Amino acid sequence: MKAIIWTDVLQALVMYTGVCVAIIYGLILVGGFKQAFSIASQGDRIEFDNLSVDPRTRHTVWPILFGNSFNALLTYGFNQMQVQRYMCVKSTRGAQTTIFINIIGVACLILLSGLMGVIPYVYYSGCDPYTAGYIQSVDQIFPHFIMDA
């Protein structure tokens, strides 16, 4: 079981390194953090304060909190691989520490992934590669950005 945990640690380091390199490179290309968030805010891509309870609104704070609460319950309470990791820790306190570290790591990765999504939006704000026909699917935007930049 130790090998699985160390493999997970190595995998996390590789993921964080790749994400951080892509973000730093992208921020250099688009003119920095302030410029990126300015353009993304003007394009209505960043909304942290939408407290609307209207069910027709796509993303608000409430459905995100509600949905992610269930996702966390399933992931940390019922996922076989996750529970197996808790069981290999020697104490309850150790398992709680493992969960806490994991939650912080996942939250950071989600925030970095969101930033990683803002960068191609800003980079291509003047020309959409999907509409221009450079890519066949909107899911190809980030790989196209990496290859294009």
Give mean pLDDT in consecutive 10-residue pieces for the chain, a chain of 149 residues.
82 93 95 93 81 81 86 88 84 90 90 92 91 92 91
What is the residue-averaged pLDDT of the chain?
89
- With pLDDT > 70 as the criterion, what percentage of the chain qualifies? 99
d(CA 92, CA 116): 36
Model-level pTM greater than 0.75? Answer: yes
The pLDDT score that the predictor gives to residue 149 is 81
The pLDDT score that the predictor gives to residue 20 is 94
Contacts of 16 (CB under 8 A, 6+ apart): 108, 109, 112
Tell the burial category of 127 from Cβ atoms under 10 Å away from its Cβ (0-12, 13-18, 19+): exposed
Residue whose C-alpha is closest to residue 1's, from 81, 101, 96, 93: 81
